[in-house]
Structure 1
Amino acid sequence: MSFRNRLSFFFILLVILPVLAVALVGILIVRDSEVGKTEAGLEQAKTAAAGLYRESRERAETVARSVAEDEQLAVAVRDRDRAALQDRLEDLARRGGAVRVRLSLAGGQTVEAGGGDAVAPAVTRIVDADGRPAGQMRLSVTTARDYAAVLGSVTGLEVLLTQEDRVLAGTLAAEAEEVGGLPRQGAAELGGERYRVTAVDTTGFDDSTFRVRLLEPEDELDAAISDNTLFIVLILVAFLICALVFALTAARSLQAQIARLLTGARSIGAGDFSVKVPVEGNDDFAALGNEFNSMGRQLEGRLEDLQLERARLRENVRRVGESIGKGLDREALLRIVVRTAVDGVGAECGRAVMRRGSNGTFAEAARAGDVAPYMAAVQAAENAALHAGEAAETTISGATALARPLLAPEPEAGVLGVVSIARQETPFSQSERELFEYLTNQVVISIENADLHETIQRQAFTDELTGLFNHRRFQEVMAAEVERTRRFGQELGLIMLDIDDFKLVNDTYGHLQGDHVLREVAHALRECSREIDEPARYGGEEMAVALPQTGLQGAYEFAERARQCIEGLQIGLLDGAGTLRVTASFGAASLPHSARVDKDALVAAADAALYRAKRTGKNRTVKAE
Structure 2
Amino acid sequence: MSFRNRLTLFFVAIVIVPMVSVAFVLFSLISDNEKGKADAELRARQQTAVNVYTQARQAADKLAPKVGTDARLADALRDGDDAAAKRRAAQLQKELGLVRLRISDRSGTRVDVGSRNAVAAATRTLEDADGAEFGRLQLSDRSAPVYAREVKRLAGLEVVVKGSRKVAAATVENPPDTTLPRVGVVELRGTDFRVASFPARGFGDEVISVSILSSLDQVESEIGRSRLLAGGVLAGFFILAITCAVLVSRSLQAQIGDFLEAARRLARGDFSAKVPTQGRDEFAELGTEFNTMASQLEQRLEDLRRERVRLESTLRRLGEAFASNLDRDALLAIGVRTTADGVGADGGRATGGEGERARGGELGDLEETVLRVEADALEKGEPSELSADSGSALAHPLRAAEGDEILGVVSVWRRGRPFAPSERELFHYLAGQVGISLENVRLHETVQRQAVTDELTGLSNHRRFQDTMASEVERARRFDASLGLVMLDIDNFKMVNDTYGHQVGDQVLAAVSRVLHEQSREIDEPARYGGEELAVVLPGTDLEGAFNLAERVRAGIERLEFPSANGGALRVTASFGAAAIPDSAVDHSGLIAAADSALYVAKRSGKNRTERAVREGARPPQ
TM-score bracket for the superposition, by shorter chain length: 0.3 to 0.5
Q: TM-score, normalised by structure 2?
A: 0.46
Q: TM-score, normalised by structure 1?
A: 0.46
